[in-house]
Structure 1
Amino acid sequence: MMVGIVSLMLFNLADIYFVSQLGTEPMAALAFTFPVTFSVISLAIGFGIGTSAILAKLIGAGRQSEAALLATDNLMMTLILVLVVSIIAHWFMPPLFRLMGASEALQVYILEYMEVWWFGAVFVVANMVANSSLRSRGDTKTPAMIMAASSALNVMLDPLLIFGWGPVPAMGIRGAALASVISWVCVFFCVTHILYHRYQLLVFVRLNVARVLRHWLQVMKIGLPAALSNMLTPLAGGILTALVAQHGAEAVAAFGVGNRLESLSLLACLALSMTLPPFVSQNYGAGQISRVEAAYKGAVKFALVWQFCVFLLLLLLSGWLAGLFADSEAVRQPLLLWLTIVPLGFGMQAVIFLSASTLNALHQPIRAMRISILRLFVFFIPMAWVANYFGGLQAMFISFVVANTLTSVIAFLWVKKAIAKKAI
């Protein structure tokens, strides 16, 4: 799982590294796109959670033919839904980014990137659902290998398409989006080939609307609350970006780098949050609640210790990292500030998404969604606004740590209560 997630993160890091060579404005433009692109990723994660939960249960029960029908119908509906969403969303880009605080100059770069990116959005979500189908079959290595190969392809295509070489023209920020889209298309054909030929989880059958809708509703019963929960993060991210934008394009550029580094810093715990749910679900189904409790508490302890070590490492390397990603002192200073404060709350942030994953695995997706609402709209945004108003950027970054800490305590108590009820 870590290999797969690293590959996904390398997409973002490669894009922002090569785009940073174009200057501060393209770099800031890429930061503005993050809440929008991450909202699509969040939708994909939610669909993947629902797919994996339902498919794994069918496969575990030996109902292979029913699992193949569900996987086929689910992938088809995903492709149709995201295609429609992409077409509609494309027309709302200019007003959305104006609302987020992007200047007219930055919007030129933003729209260049997003006009290409939306063509690949359907493959982003479809790939997540297809890979979740593989994992429900017990195969985590194949999707990791495919994602690693596609990430390597993206890293090679980025400089070629951004800066140009020989007959290939320099496309600038548009080239970064095109490199990602090409990589996603290659992943889609690889993973669907494996689902069809190796595991027979894709089948050619006569279309039955009632069956397709029944399968879709089964998946969405778990997947929709998970998707909505994940989509709250980029929504809040857009609001936070608007707050940061009050300090200038340089601060937004630094904040964008910080968001990418945050994902990489939480890598081990993200992988753990994706492997914990099937373990919890299987033991919950078998009545082994004591193992559920031991797994959850063990994961929480690991997350707190591991992320504190990551914080110390980032603190030691903060000067070098700020110099690596910042092309000017105006970007370096806010990035350095982020690196020395925000990672202190990563351990508590890991506890939050481990708790949400556990609640989803215990078939309590609504309560998992409440954790996200509590974190982002009760603590995070109100505290960030107040801190920014009275204390500026540094106070806002400190408020991130406080918000994560308060939410993690509540989330831990909710999971503990849920496990205790299942044990009765």
Structure 2
Amino acid sequence: MTDSASKKPDLLNGDIRRTLTQMTVPVLFGMITLMSFNLVDTFFISMLGTAELAAVSFTFPVTFTVISLAIGLSIGTSAVIARAVGAGQHQDAKADGLAALWLSAYLVALLSVVGYFSIDPLFRLLGAKADTLPFIHQYMEIWFLGAVFLITPMIGNAVLRASGDTKTPSILMACAGLLNAILDPILIFGWGPVPAMGVAGASLASLISWLLGFGLILHLLMYKRQLIERGHQSWQEFSRISRKILHIGLPAAGANMLTPLAMAVLTAVMASYGAEAVAAFGVGARLESIASLVVLALSMTLPPFISQNLGACAYQRIDLAYRTCIRFILQWQFAVYLLLCVTAPWLAAVFTSDPQVARYICYFIWILPLGYGLQGLIILTNSSFNALHMPLSALQLSVVRLFVFYVPFAWVGGQIGGVIGVFVGCLLGNCCTSLVARFWFKHKVAQLQG
């Protein structure tokens, strides 16, 4: 065992609060770093012109679909491996990790081949025009060719998190993001003997950073940590393990894809109140992603803890860890809400000079973030269901949240109170779903305890 491995948190015996803090802080650091580098990436592309920026914007739904599959597979991978580790079945965990890497490579390669030869019809369907299609080709041809090198590190990081190591994945994410940010201006605008490649340069910079992550993660997993086997299992064993991963991974990927679908419906609802309302909602959505970073970090670190303790049949630790996280996130998000309330007019002024848009942004900030703690409860419950190998419960909770409460309540609220009514409806939707989620999880844990 290496020094790094020996310093990993003890998920089965360590103090719960200290262990989760030790796991979550590195993930939070990695997410903030990666988000910063992504903003740099968007900034350099925007300097090329409106058509180029629009072309890359068109790629988001397609790339998000592939990434959603990878996120689902990583959730399945983490749940399966962490349970095996918790049960002391370390050889099984190594076999599971190898199968997960091959499974993700096969599925993403298949999607990439289909996508590569469908660029024109696919993006015309999304609304791309003749002036943006050449730039889309430049970006997506490279992206599809290298997608496997993006997905493999994501699955490899899931293997590391399943073993309790969240620090190394964060460092790898930060290194890949930094390399991408350095290469972007060089490859996009040219430097010395390197020609200016425009949009293709941005995609190539991403591919090179993925290759770095790909090489580092395979070396780490196979040789330094020896967390996965080498080579390829028999097809019989590979199929058996793949079914375990897909049992959790496919519903998780589906649940992940529901969120942008619901946001698209809500955007259409906001559009009925004018461009100002849409602009304000877009700004609010960006603020929400930043305000919820701690929730998202916990949603990546709580599942390995739960799955390992599931393997060890330590159900009381699972319940206590869940309740500890919920209590913390309710307090944390309320503090974030107070901060947002005080700074709302200033934040609105940063994003717009239009008084109507600024007014809507303030309404958004004063209403929706009041429910971010409850939204955090829902997100953590969803990820906990996946960790407990209950993927259909996680998927059902996502459907209930978005299409039974959140979107319908927003629409009804809009009919009653306009834009403010939409925001209040979203808040009430989170309130109702959080009650369902809390009692649902309590019931499932009670069933496990028998």
**Alignment TM-score, normalising by the size of structure 1:** 0.83
Is it true that 1:406 corresponds to 2:427 in the alignment?
no
Question: CA 1:367 to 1:195, structure 2 compared with 1: closer, same or farther past 3 Å?
Answer: same
Aligned residue in 2 for 1:209: 235
Q: CA deviation at 1:116?
A: 4.3
Confirm or deny: 8 A CA contact 1:323 1:332 kept in the other structure: no
Aligned residue in 1 for 2:206: 180
Moved more, 363-372 or 378-387: 378-387
Confirm or deny: 8 A CA contact 1:75 1:126 kept in the other structure: yes
Q: Deviations over 1:75-102 (max 9, x none)?
A: 1121111111123245566666666667
Letter in 1 for 2:330: L
Q: Deviations over 1:101-143 (max 9, x none)?
A: 6777677766665454434433332221111112223322211
Confirm or deny: 8 A CA contact 1:19 1:176 kept in the other structure: yes
Distance 1:142 1:323 in 2: 38
Aligned residue in 2 for 1:294: 320
Among 35, 40, 58, which residue is 2:84 paired with? 58
Q: CA deviation at 1:193?
A: 1.1
Question: CA 1:29 to 1:189, structure 2 compared with 1: closer, same or farther past 3 Å?
Answer: same
Aligned residue in 2 for 1:80: 106
Distance 2:117 2:273 in 1: 28
Aligned residue in 2 for 1:359: 385
Q: Deviations over 1:22-52 (max 9, x none)?
A: 6777666655544443333332222112112
Q: CA deviation at 1:261?
A: 3.7
Q: CA deviation at 1:60?
A: 4.1
Distance 1:81 1:283 in 2: 30
Confirm or deny: 8 A CA contact 2:400 2:433 kept in the other structure: yes
Q: CA deviation at 1:422?
A: 2.6
Letter in 2 for 1:363: H
Question: CA 1:290 to 1:124, structure 2 compared with 1: closer, same or farther past 3 Å?
Answer: same
Q: Which SS does the other structure have where 1:183 is aligned?
A: helix
Is it true that 1:306 corresponds to 2:329 in the alignment?
no
Q: CA deviation at 1:369?
A: 0.9
Distance 2:276 2:49 in 1: 11
Distance 2:372 2:35 in 1: 17
Moved more, 239-248 or 274-283: 239-248
Letter in 2 for 1:358: S
Distance 1:63 1:267 in 2: 33
User: Identity over the aligned pairs, expressed in percent?
Assistant: 48
Is it true that 1:142 corresponds to 2:162 in the alignment?
no
Confirm or deny: 8 A CA contact 1:100 1:239 kept in the other structure: no
Is it true that 1:131 corresponds to 2:150 in the alignment?
no
Distance 2:321 2:197 in 1: 49
Q: CA deviation at 1:177?
A: 3.8
Matches within 5 A, 1:14-163: 14-19=40-45, 33-90=59-116, 113-163=139-189
Q: CA deviation at 1:272?
A: 1.5
Q: Deviations over 1:133-165 (max 9, x none)?
A: 122233222111111111222232334444555
Is it true that 1:226 corresponds to 2:273 in the alignment?
no
Question: CA 1:107 to 1:214, structure 2 compared with 1: closer, same or farther past 3 Å?
Answer: same
Confirm or deny: 8 A CA contact 1:43 1:125 kept in the other structure: no
Letter in 2 for 1:266: S
Among 178, 196, 199, which residue is 2:222 paired with? 196
Q: CA deviation at 1:375?
A: 1.4
Distance 1:341 1:100 in 2: 33
Distance 1:388 1:105 in 2: 37
Letter in 2 for 1:225: P
Q: CA RMSD of the aligned region, Å?
A: 3.6
Question: CA 1:18 to 1:220, structure 2 compared with 1: closer, same or farther past 3 Å?
Answer: same
Moved more, 89-98 or 356-365: 89-98
Distance 2:319 2:169 in 1: 29
Unaligned stretches of 5+ residues in structure 2: 1-26
Q: Deviations over 1:238-289 (max 9, x none)?
A: 4444555667888767655544443332121222222222332343444443
Confirm or deny: 8 A CA contact 1:34 1:234 kept in the other structure: no
Confirm or deny: 8 A CA contact 1:27 1:253 kept in the other structure: no
Q: CA deviation at 1:192?
A: 0.9
Confirm or deny: 8 A CA contact 2:79 2:388 kept in the other structure: no
Q: CA deviation at 1:325?
A: 5.6
Confirm or deny: 8 A CA contact 1:31 1:252 kept in the other structure: no
Confirm or deny: 8 A CA contact 1:35 1:238 kept in the other structure: no
Question: CA 1:206 to 1:9, structure 2 compared with 1: closer, same or farther past 3 Å?
Answer: closer
Moved more, 221-230 or 162-171: 162-171
Confirm or deny: 8 A CA contact 2:108 2:151 kept in the other structure: yes
Aligned residue in 1 for 2:17: none
Q: Deviations over 1:331-366 (max 9, x none)?
A: 964666654544333222211111112222222211
Moved more, 367-376 or 100-109: 100-109
Distance 2:68 2:154 in 1: 10
Unaligned stretches of 5+ residues in structure 1: none
Distance 1:342 1:26 in 2: 33
Q: Which SS does the other structure have where 1:138 is aligned?
A: coil
